[in-house]
Structure 1
Amino acid sequence: LFLLFFLAFNYETRPTVSCKHLPWVADRSNAEVKRNVNCDLYEKKVYVRQCIVGKGEDYRGKVFTTKSGLICQQWWSKFPHDHWWTPTASNGLELNYCRNPDGDNIGPWCYTTDPERRYESCNIPQCKDEVCITCNGEDYRGQVDHTASGKECQRWDQQHPHQHIYQPEKYPDKSLDDNYCRNPDASPVPWCYTTDPLVERENCNISKCLEKRQRSSFTTNCFRGRGEDYRGKINETLSGIPCQRWNAQNPHEHPFYPNIYECKGLEENYCRNPDGSEAPWCFTSVPEMRTALCLQIKRCADDIEAEDCYQENGKNYRGAVRKTRKGVTCQRWNVNTPHRTKINPLTHPEANLTENYCRNPDGDQHGPWCYTTDPKTEFDYCAIKQCGTNPFYLLTPLVEFSECGKREDRIQSFLRIVNGIPGNSPWTVSLRDRKGNHFCGGSLVNSRWVISTKQCFSSCYVDLPGYSAMLGTLFRDPQEDEPSVQIIPLTKIVCGPSESQLVMLQLEFPAQFNERVSQICLPPERYIVPEDTECEIAGWGETKGTGDETVLNVAKVRVLSNSGCNQYFRGRVRESEMCTNSFQGGVGACEKDYGGPLACRNSDCWVLEGVIIPMRRCGHPGQPNIFIRVSVYVDWIKKVMEMA
């Protein structure tokens, strides 16, 4: 027992405060065997690894049969085969497990219990061959932990000897376990940071699968998730700039050679997503703009088919549907798990809140809903559609605001979107991806909540670790010591009603309000902004050469009636959308502005009347701009904040 104790575990005394991280520790729930005030015990990786590295001299697995199925002889036994090996505390010759004490080229072996066969290889697979890779190995989850040159890999959760951005908690979908080779950045093959201070990273030697897996999820007219499987023929950016061919290196040099990324569909100059970006994209054909997302490509509908219909707003719906629009089962109304209910049979006895059937006890204008059995989603609307088309009423009430929408107008800079003018927008939020890059805008409507657009995110269930909101700066990439900057992690995403294109993003902790950070007011429900009202759009997006994209750009626009807007768009603008005029050669929102605010002034306060969404062209001369009309969804916005 004493012998096995020191073979199988690493014993760490703690006379000092220093910690020791071991790259060869098993990354599994039972890896840490014992912890107390004096010592920590960790199970060594070689004792749980089911494959070998090199010749397998350090293999400590528990295979005890040879490649032909013969049972191994005990190492301490001299029968039926006499030998000179003696088990010790260091050579791992335990019981009758396969080992390679002499570094034999055949790998781990053993003496057999067959008198006619002295010894035989156990045929333990090489780690590099145990799990093969397809394409460029982004989904590789094997256990190779050395580079092609034999260097040991650095653990992903450590920043020594090499600092890096790929922390496991930021990339939970990349399986950055232990120190295994992975491919979190869409490189040609899996790789790792090394434990050699002089060599930052190297590729790993992992076998390619002989049979190529066929993908059945390719789409051509829309894209799912991040669009890695999009194979359509859109070949220009949202602003109409032709894409650069993937096999060309001019005007932009890049590493995405079609012959290296052969499974990524890098044909012609079509929009693709070879690196796991937020959506399909391309290198552009103009030197001034390296890349652009192709957000004019629609997202494929992810709602399940409606199972029933409801009249008016569905308050009297008494059907038996018990599933959300995303297919999630509803929580029972009379239980408080996984969510504590604020609406239940006791609070609303007249609403027929039986079992877990979809109902509309609060008269939600977007239809029947339920609490869900998904711990991450308090409530959602159900797989039920309206039986017919209901009249859509918009109002023009008199409204007063007091605690929101205030700003200090003397904070100004030379700022532009596309043909914009100077301004300041303290409620405009810069949404940051896991690498810290700005990718979309948002609006702060509460100290804990930001509103943006669904087009900025791959799904309603995207993993948010590593994503954050940056507030309090005019600059896209502010200095680290800028005192007003607040960077707050995002913890939750809530998708709006199906037709809304809105998302709400919860902040990990409240934003601190000051002259650079304040919340914008929400409009009254179903309020319609009078035509010709002057409003502002703001963001850090593309300016098409008309301004500085490194600072917050603001432009003034005037509201256009929906009837006037529909003359241009041939009736395609809905009442849940609103428009502004385009003038001065095409004032409009472009890439990376999406999700940002259309703010309109009401007395002395600014009100979030619209949310910027992608259009077929951005900043196109003479083309009106279309926004989501926020007033149609104010009841949903308030409901999300109340239930959180």
Structure 2
Amino acid sequence: AFHHDQQNQLCQLLPRTQHSPHVQLQKNILYDLYQKKGRLVLQVGKSTLQTGTRATTEKGLHCQHWQATTPHDHRFLPSPRNGLEDNYCRNPDHDKRGPWCYTVDPNIRHQSCGIKKCEDAVCMTCNGEEYRGTVDHTESGTECQRWDLQYPHKHPYHPDKSPDKGLDDNYCRNPDSSERPWCYTTDPGREREYCRIRLCKKRPRPHNITTGCFRGKGEGYRGRVNVTVSGIPCQRWDAQSPHQHHFVPEKYPCKDLQENYCRNPDGSEAPWCFTARPTVRVAFCFHIRRCPDELSAQECYHGHGEHYRGHVSKTRKGITCQPWAAQAPHVPQISPITHPEADLEKNYCRNPDNDSHGPWCYTMDPRTPFDYCSSPSAAGSTTPSILENTDAVAFEQCGRRDERLQRKGRIVGGQPGNSPWTVSIRNRARVHFCGGSLVKEQWVISTRQCFSS
């Protein structure tokens, strides 16, 4: 640990931590106290510096103080930099068995403390989406970058945007349905890497399993629908043609990627599949109906949803809604103060301005000011999906300025993702100069006047 003297800009190393005996923590506005991340009963690799407070060996013997030379004389004397404090288990010589200590028994010089490695202390199930352990190094031993930092690697997985992904500190996680937990690294030359975490012996029982309908986002759907909403046959999950992909059945044992059935292995808004048509990579299976018990009277809306008072708090894209009373990441033009009659409670989806597309909310994504919610209409229709044909979208609002976006002068319908085939053509300085349309993976069509040759 060390003190940082704010006034004099000096650091003072301390021989003890907050876990040392007879130490008291007191607040002081002139100093900041910094300590290494606590690993009370865990070991990271063969680290020399740890802050655990275990002081007995795996056989139950008490440890000798590091500054003592009896009953065993030794060369590992404590200093502020080596972490050899009191009589806690440590690993000053990088022993492959992990932390150890000299014992107070004259007949037994030293002994291992039997502390588990982090990767052995907590196991993961399936692909580790629910893993919440404290492994913070990759399988090559590289330290992980904190999720709330954008250095040395910029990334979209900020804890505020994905509060349900467990993006704490710099721990290994799996927020994007990869094969197993991973992290961005502190090495500028290596963006991300998998972590070594053991599999639990017992596979968890699947929940929300359905066959004739789907609940939530349909991760538990196990039916046999194998065509998309527009009738295109699905590609087999164990095939790599016409589309190559990483959702190989043996790598995702809990996702039930059988045959060519519609599934939701990555937490999308509904079951989907790769299609058998080379020109259409993926498509949703929106024709699979929602289970009746999902559509309670409170969670569906009538008309435009101006009287909707349900508790849906995520958008159709899965982004968490910003509380109506909050001022960040977006400064709202509509709030409980401006619309007291609209019941703008917590971060629940509402329609205070009678938008024809239904309930909406400001979002926790700084790049998406607002988005519509996935609440179903009592009439059976849903908010237009980002992948559905735009013919389903009502166009009477196009070109009308919206008070939700007035600060940035944007136009209704101009949100990123609404038109995934729309392309921004930019110069080498990354400045936009023309628009275009994606007609094939490597082909964009634009207008001739955009180019000098």
Q: Is the 8 A contact 2:63 2:103 kept in 1?
A: yes
Q: How many residues align?
A: 353
Match of 1:294 among 252, 271, 285: 285
Structure 1 residues 408-419: aligned runs within 5 Å: none
Change in 2 beyond 3 A, CA 1:269/1:503: closer
CA-CA distance at 1:112 after TM superposition = 2.6
Query: Structure 1 residue 183 and structure 2 residue 55: aligned?
Result: no
| Structure 2 counterpart of 1:488 | 369
Per-residue CA shift, 1:48-101, capped at 9, x if unaligned? 454212223222211122212233232233444444432211121212211111
Change in 2 beyond 3 A, CA 1:14/1:277: farther
Structure 1 residues 304-323: aligned runs within 5 Å: none
CA-CA distance at 1:514 after TM superposition = 11
Match of 1:43 among 32, 35, 47: 35
Q: Is the 8 A contact 2:237 2:247 kept in 1?
A: yes
| Structure 1 counterpart of 2:162 | 171
Q: Is the 8 A contact 1:57 1:107 kept in 2?
A: no
Q: Is the 8 A contact 1:9 1:44 kept in 2?
A: no
Change in 2 beyond 3 A, CA 1:222/1:9: farther
Change in 2 beyond 3 A, CA 1:10/1:235: farther
CA-CA distance at 1:268 after TM superposition = 0.3
Instruction: Give the letter for the 1:241 counterpart.
Output: I
CA-CA distance at 1:14 after TM superposition = 7.9
CA distance in 2, matches of 1:325, 1:290: 35
CA-CA distance at 1:116 after TM superposition = 4.2
Match of 1:111 among 88, 91, 102: 102
Determine helix, strand or coil for the equivalent of 1:237.
coil
Structure 1 residues 151-162: aligned runs within 5 Å: 151-162=142-153
Query: Structure 1 residue 466 and structure 2 residue 351: aligned?
Result: no
Change in 2 beyond 3 A, CA 1:77/1:540: closer
CA distance in 2, matches of 1:305, 1:55: 54
Which stretch of structure 1 is more off in the superposition, 192-201 or 283-292? 192-201
Match of 2:270 among 275, 279, 295: 279
Instruction: Give the letter for the 2:265 counterpart.
Output: P
Determine helix, strand or coil for the equivalent of 1:174.
coil
Structure 1 residues 23-102: aligned runs within 5 Å: 36=29, 40-45=32-37, 47-48=38-39, 50-102=41-93
CA distance in 2, matches of 1:76, 1:516: 67
Q: Is the 8 A contact 1:377 1:494 kept in 2?
A: no
CA-CA distance at 1:257 after TM superposition = 1.1
Q: Is the 8 A contact 1:12 1:41 kept in 2?
A: no
Structure 1 residues 392-541: aligned runs within 5 Å: 446=353, 450=355, 452=357, 464-466=363-365, 488-490=369-371, 495=375, 510-512=404-406, 517=411
CA-CA distance at 1:280 after TM superposition = 1.0
CA distance in 2, matches of 1:516, 1:66: 65
Instruction: Give the letter for the 2:50 counterpart.
Output: Y
CA distance in 1, matches of 2:56, 2:172: 29
Per-residue CA shift, 1:402-455, capped at 9, x if unaligned? xxxxxxxxxxxxxxxxxxxxxxxxxxxxxxxxxxxxxxxxxx983xx755469x
Return the structure number with greater relative CO, CA threshold 8 A, min gap 6. Answer: 1
More strand by share: 1
CA distance in 2, matches of 1:463, 1:235: 35
Give me the TM-score of the superposition, normalised by structure 1: 0.48
Change in 2 beyond 3 A, CA 1:192/1:218: same
Match of 2:250 among 230, 240, 259: 259
CA distance in 1, matches of 2:172, 2:262: 29
Give me the TM-score of the superposition, normalised by structure 2: 0.66
Change in 2 beyond 3 A, CA 1:274/1:15: farther
CA-CA distance at 1:241 after TM superposition = 0.7
CA distance in 2, matches of 1:186, 1:514: 34
Per-residue CA shift, 1:482-504, capped at 9, x if unaligned? xxxxx5245x9594776665679
Change in 2 beyond 3 A, CA 1:233/1:188: same
Query: Structure 1 residue 192 and structure 2 residue 183: aligned?
Result: yes
CA-CA distance at 1:291 after TM superposition = 0.3
Determine helix, strand or coil for the equivalent of 1:11.
strand
Change in 2 beyond 3 A, CA 1:518/1:277: closer
| Structure 2 counterpart of 1:599 | none
Which stretch of structure 1 is more off in the superposition, 55-64 or 237-246? 55-64
Determine helix, strand or coil for the equivalent of 2:250.
coil
Unaligned runs of 5+ in 2: 10-24, 298-308, 313-322, 326-342, 385-401, 424-453
Determine helix, strand or coil for the equivalent of 2:33.
strand
Instruction: Give the letter for the 1:87 counterpart.
Output: P
Query: Structure 1 residue 121 and structure 2 residue 20: aligned?
Result: no
Match of 2:240 among 238, 245, 249: 249
Match of 1:228 among 219, 232, 249: 219
Instruction: Give the letter for the 2:160 counterpart.
Output: E
| Structure 1 counterpart of 2:426 | none
State the Cα RMSD in Å: 4.2
Instruction: Give the letter for the 2:364 counterpart.
Output: P
Structure 1 residues 612-623: aligned runs within 5 Å: none
Change in 2 beyond 3 A, CA 1:376/1:300: same
CA-CA distance at 1:219 after TM superposition = 1.6
Query: Structure 1 residue 11 and structure 2 residue 8: aligned?
Result: no
CA-CA distance at 1:10 after TM superposition = 6.4
Change in 2 beyond 3 A, CA 1:226/1:77: same
CA distance in 1, matches of 2:209, 2:151: 40
Determine helix, strand or coil for the equivalent of 2:273.
strand
Instruction: Give the letter for the 1:11 counterpart.
Output: H
CA-CA distance at 1:114 after TM superposition = 3.7
Q: Is the 8 A contact 2:310 2:349 kept in 1?
A: no
CA-CA distance at 1:293 after TM superposition = 0.8
CA distance in 2, matches of 1:53, 1:453: 50
CA distance in 2, matches of 1:159, 1:108: 33
CA distance in 2, matches of 1:204, 1:463: 35
Determine helix, strand or coil for the equivalent of 1:292.
strand
| Structure 1 counterpart of 2:127 | 136
Per-residue CA shift, 1:333-385, capped at 9, x if unaligned? xxxxx999xxxxxxxxxxxxxxxxxxxxxxxxxxxxxx89x844499xxxxxx
Moved >6 Å (runs of 4+): 32-35, 324-327, 513-516
Structure 1 residues 550-565: aligned runs within 5 Å: 550=422
